[in-house]
Amino acid sequence: MQNVSRVFKRTLLSVVLSATTLPPVFAANLTRDNGSPVGDNQNSETAGPEGPVLLQDSHLVEKLQRFDRERIPERVVHARGTGAFGDFVPSADLSDLTTAQVFSPGSKTPVFVRFSTVMGYRGSPEQARDPRGFAIKFYTGQGNWDMVGINWPIFFIRDAIKFPDFVHANKPGAVTGVQDPNLAFDFFAHTPEATNMLTHLYSDDGMPDSYRHMDGFGVHAFKFVNAKGEVHYVKFHWVSDQGKKDLRPGEIAASIGSDWNLMTNDLYGAIRKQDFPKWDLYIQVLKPSDLNKFSYDGLDDTKEWLGVPERKIGTMTLNRVPDNYFESTEESAFAPSRLVPGIEPSEDRMLQGRLFAYADTQMYRLGANYNSLPINRPLIDVHSNNQDGRMNASGRTGDVNYEPSGISELSQDPKYKYVQTPLSGTTQQIAIHKKQNFRQAGQYFESLTEQGKGDLVTALSGDLSHVTNEDNKYTMLSYFNKADPDLGARLIRALNADGSKVKTLSAKLSDE
Contact residues for ligand HEM (CB under 6 A)?
A: 75-78, 81, 114, 116, 133, 135, 148-150, 155, 160, 163, 219, 301, 332-334, 350, 353-354, 357-358, 361-362, 365
Shortest distance (Å) from residue 250 CB to ligand HEM: 28
Q: How far is CA 146 from CA 5, 95, 177, 345, 388, in A?
A: 22, 20, 32, 12, 24
Residue whose CB is nearest to ligand HEM in the complex, by number: 133
Query: Is the Cβ of residue 64 or residue 161 nearer to ligand HEM in the bound state?
Result: 161
Query: Is the Cβ of residue 203 or residue 332 nearer to ligand HEM in the bound state?
Result: 332
Shortest distance (Å) from residue 369 CB to ligand HEM: 15
Query: Is the Cβ of residue 357 or residue 380 nearer to ligand HEM in the bound state?
Result: 357
Query: Is the Cβ of residue 331 or residue 484 nearer to ligand HEM in the bound state?
Result: 331
Query: Looking at residue 33, what DSSP letter applies?
Result: T
Q: What is the distance between the alpha carbons of residues 223 and 216, in angstroms, rounded to a whole number? A: 19
Shortest distance (Å) from residue 390 CB to ligand HEM: 17
Long-range contacts of 357-360, Cβ-Cβ distance < 8 Å, separation of 24 or more: 357/160, 357/163, 358/148, 358/333, 358/334, 359/333, 359/335
**Where would I find the H helices in 150-194?**
163-170, 181-188
Q: What is the distance between the alpha carbons of residues 238 and 283, in angstroms, rounded to a whole number? A: 9
Shortest distance (Å) from residue 16 CB to ligand HEM: 17
- Environment class of 283 (CB within 10 Å of its CB; exposed 0-12, middle 13-18, buried 19+): buried
Shortest distance (Å) from residue 331 CB to ligand HEM: 10
Query: Is the Cβ of residue 136 or residue 477 nearer to ligand HEM in the bound state?
Result: 136
Query: Is the Cβ of residue 149 or residue 322 nearer to ligand HEM in the bound state?
Result: 149
Shortest distance (Å) from residue 267 CB to ligand HEM: 14
Query: Is the Cβ of residue 217 or residue 438 nearer to ligand HEM in the bound state?
Result: 217
Phi/psi at 245 (5° precision): -140, 135
Number of H helices, E strands in the chain: 14, 10
Query: Is the Cβ of residue 360 or residue 381 nearer to ligand HEM in the bound state?
Result: 360
- What's the CA dihedral at 245, 248, 254, 258 to 10 degrees? 10
Q: What is the distance between the alpha carbons of residues 198 and 166, in angstroms, rounded to a whole number? A: 13
Closest CA to 418 of 345, 335, 367, 350: 345
Shortest distance (Å) from residue 225 CB to ligand HEM: 21
Shortest distance (Å) from residue 152 CB to ligand HEM: 9
